[in-house]
């Protein structure tokens, strides 16, 4: 089904695939709107629009157009089954501070699966997941100065928020109470009432929450950096990694494999802990000094107090204190994996006996997001990816859950 089949003519209120609605849609999609603050992407569409509504002057027509929602199509969850299906929907109009991005690729994060399945609480459906998004700017609002039409842009886990508040400057946007996360988050401006993510052909975001994707990295390689990259980069920076520092990385999936590569690039000695034995050769190839296959939790005992710091990306409940104990006293341990119900199990005595600074970190701020993209592009730190089509998403999700992903699935948005 195409988007046009479900179109509603805003003048007549009638649903139907009329020549007029098709023309209007083309016009809207091209975002060639006079007087609305949007930059023109192509003058010829103006004539299509005036032809479509001859009874209106161009200016009146344009004024109406500026309030038009953005038409999108993508893949959505409709229930907790974990099965996604095609869906056409509407996003908000491109506001004065917004950018419209034509999505080229969106990658699959384990968080998408957890949230759509309701593992983190009840969800509103239909809901489009996806918070690793790259594409080309197709329209910008009149107040936008950081982007112009045609720029390469990326969007991660946040799409809107206070952006100028001191809380954001001091602590990062992800810790601001006003921040709107990329999907399933209440958002008044969204026609569906919630933010809708990147498994789709376009997205409208506040320009503060888009980053530049430099020319020296392919779109498909950049996508996973928007969540997996920054979520590991942010805490790794705080470890102050340098040659000789022993850093543990637990859970070598989408996040973990990037954590290994990033830590190696800083010269650290990386100890990678995985439960999947057949990843060992890959992980060595990423530059890890040692790969520990944790087929039994008691194996961690051999590493007691050995590491300076550790990042744990496991997206499942696990015995935290056993992993923490691999870090030496007063070292730092950071949790970034988000399990079902956000629950992990901590033995208080074991945790206190290791006297490690335990913390958890939520993604990274917008500056760090831009930094990790630039850093990875410049240092050729690229995720291991498999590009898939939209119809392969459900299969890919199963592979992620079954630990078969190697290591990030990237959806070609042309197939939505």
Task: Report d(CA 170, CA 187) in Å as an integer.
Answer: 24
Comparison of 116 and 168: residue with beta carbon closer to Zn ion = 168
Q: Does 167 interact with Zn ion (rule: CB under 5 A)?
A: yes
Question: Which ranges in 43-179 belong to alpha helices (H)?
Answer: 44-52, 58-65, 110-116, 166-171
Task: Report d(CA 328, CA 308) in Å as an integer.
Answer: 6
Q: Which stretch binds Zn ion (CB under 5 A): 28-36, 143-151, 161-169, 352-360?
A: 161-169
Site for Zn ion in 33-92 (CB under 5 A): none
Q: Does 168 interact with Zn ion (rule: CB under 5 A)?
A: yes
Q: Which stretch binds Zn ion (CB under 5 A): 34-42, 91-99, 155-163, 352-360?
A: 155-163
Among 225, 227, 314, 410, binds Zn ion (CB under 5 A): 227
Q: Which stretch binds Zn ion (CB under 5 A): 18-26, 119-127, 174-182, 199-207?
A: 174-182
Q: Does 237 interact with Zn ion (rule: CB under 5 A)?
A: no
Task: Report d(CA 390, CA 22) in Å as an integer.
Answer: 24
Q: How far is CA 347 from the centre of its chain?
A: 32
Site for Zn ion in 284-313 (CB under 5 A): none
Q: Which residue in this structure is represented by tokens 């990843």?
A: 279
Among 165, 191, 214, 287, binds Zn ion (CB under 5 A): 165
Q: Does 159 interact with Zn ion (rule: CB under 5 A)?
A: no
CB 47 within 8 A of CB 56: no
Q: Which stretch binds Zn ion (CB under 5 A): 167-175, 183-191, 291-299, 405-413?
A: 167-175
Task: Report d(CA 49, CA 400) in Å as an integer.
Answer: 45
Among 7, 36, 41, 111, binds Zn ion (CB under 5 A): 111
CA within 13 Å, CB half, 243:
0
Question: Which ranges in 244-328 belong to alpha helices (H)?
Answer: 254-265, 280-285, 320-324
User: How many residues bind to Zn ion according to rule CB under 5 A?
Assistant: 8
CB 131 to Zn ion: min, Å:
5
Tell me the backbone φ, ψ of residue 231, rounded to 5 degrees: -65, -30
Q: H/E element holding 397?
A: helix 393-401
Comparison of 99 and 108: residue with beta carbon closer to Zn ion = 108
Site map for Zn ion, 91-110, x if CB under 5 A? Answer: ------------------x-
Q: Which stretch binds Zn ion (CB under 5 A): 40-48, 164-172, 310-318, 372-380?
A: 164-172
Site map for Zn ion, 175-214, x if CB under 5 A? Answer: -x--------------------------------------
Comparison of 179 and 190: residue with beta carbon closer to Zn ion = 179
Comparison of 46 and 77: residue with beta carbon closer to Zn ion = 77
Comparison of 271 and 409: residue with beta carbon closer to Zn ion = 409
What contacts 49, CB < 8 A, 6 or more positions away? 23, 24, 27, 32, 58, 61, 62, 65
Q: Which of 131, 184, 157, 116 is nearest to 401 (CA)?
A: 116
Q: How many CB atoms lie within 10 A of CB 242?
A: 9
DSSP readout, 244-256? T-EEEEE--SHHH
Task: Report d(CA 354, CA 60) in Å as an integer.
Answer: 69
Comparison of 107 and 201: residue with beta carbon closer to Zn ion = 107
Q: Which stretch binds Zn ion (CB under 5 A): 165-173, 195-203, 213-221, 368-376?
A: 165-173
Comparison of 93 and 254: residue with beta carbon closer to Zn ion = 254
Comparison of 74 and 93: residue with beta carbon closer to Zn ion = 74
Task: Report d(CA 30, CA 24) in Å as an integer.
Answer: 10
CB 333 to Zn ion: min, Å:
20
CB 72 within 8 A of CB 91: yes
Q: Does 139 interact with Zn ion (rule: CB under 5 A)?
A: no
Q: Which of 264, 164, 146, 144 is nearest to 213 (CA)?
A: 146
Residues near Zn ion (CB under 5 A) are 109, 111, 162, 165, 167-168, 176, 227
């Amino acid at each position: 089904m195409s988007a046009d089949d479900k179109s509603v003519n805003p003048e007549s209120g009638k649903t139907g695939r009329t020549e007029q609605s098709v023309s209007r849609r083309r016009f809207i999609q091209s975002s060639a709107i006079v007087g609305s603050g949007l930059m023109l992407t192509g003058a010829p569409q103006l004539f299509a629009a005036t032809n479509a509504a001859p009874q209106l002057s161009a200016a009146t027509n344009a004024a109406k157009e500026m309030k038009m929602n953005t038409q999108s199509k993508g893949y959505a969850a409709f229930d907790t089954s974990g099965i996604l299906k095609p869906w056409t929907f509407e996003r908000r109009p491109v506001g004065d501070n917004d950018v419209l991005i034509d999505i080229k690729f969106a990658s699959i994060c384990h968080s998408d699966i957890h949230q759509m399945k309701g593992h983190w609480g009840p969800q509103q459906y239909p809901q489009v997941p996806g918070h690793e998004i790259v594409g080309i700017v197709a329209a910008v609002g009149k107040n936008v100065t950081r982007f112009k039409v045609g720029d390469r842009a990326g969007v991660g886990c946040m799409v809107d928020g206070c952006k100028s508040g001191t809380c954001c400057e001091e602590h990062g946007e992800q810790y601001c109470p006003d921040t709107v996360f990329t999907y399933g988050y209440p958002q008044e401006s969204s026609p569906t009432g919630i933010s809708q993510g990147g498994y789709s052909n376009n997205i409208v975001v506040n320009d503060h929450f888009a980053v530049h994707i430099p020319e020296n990295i392919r779109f498909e390689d950049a996508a996973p950096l928007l969540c997996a990259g920054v979520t590991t980069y942010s805490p790794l920076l705080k470890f102050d990694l340098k040659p000789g520092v022993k850093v543990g990385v637990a859970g070598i999936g989408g996040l973990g494999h990037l954590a290994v590569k990033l830590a190696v690039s800083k010269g650290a000695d990386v100890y990678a802990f995985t439960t999947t034995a057949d990843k060992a050769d890959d992980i060595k190839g990423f530059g890890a000094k040692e790969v520990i296959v944790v087929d039994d939790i008691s194996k961690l005992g051999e590493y007691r107090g050995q590491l300076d710091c550790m990042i744990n990306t496991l997206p499942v409940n696990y015995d935290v204190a056993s992993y923490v104990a691999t870090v030496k006293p007063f070292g730092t341990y950071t949790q970034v994996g988000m399990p079902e119900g956000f629950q992990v199990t901590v033995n208080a005595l074991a945790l206190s006996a290791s006297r490690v600074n335990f913390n958890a970190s939520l993604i990274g701020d917008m500056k760090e997001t831009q930094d990790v993209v630039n850093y990875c592009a410049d240092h050729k730190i690229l995720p291991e990816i498999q590009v898939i089509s939209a119809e392969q998403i459900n299969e890919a999700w199963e592979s992620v859950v079954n630990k078969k992903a190697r290591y990030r699935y990237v959806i070609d948005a042309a197939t939505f």
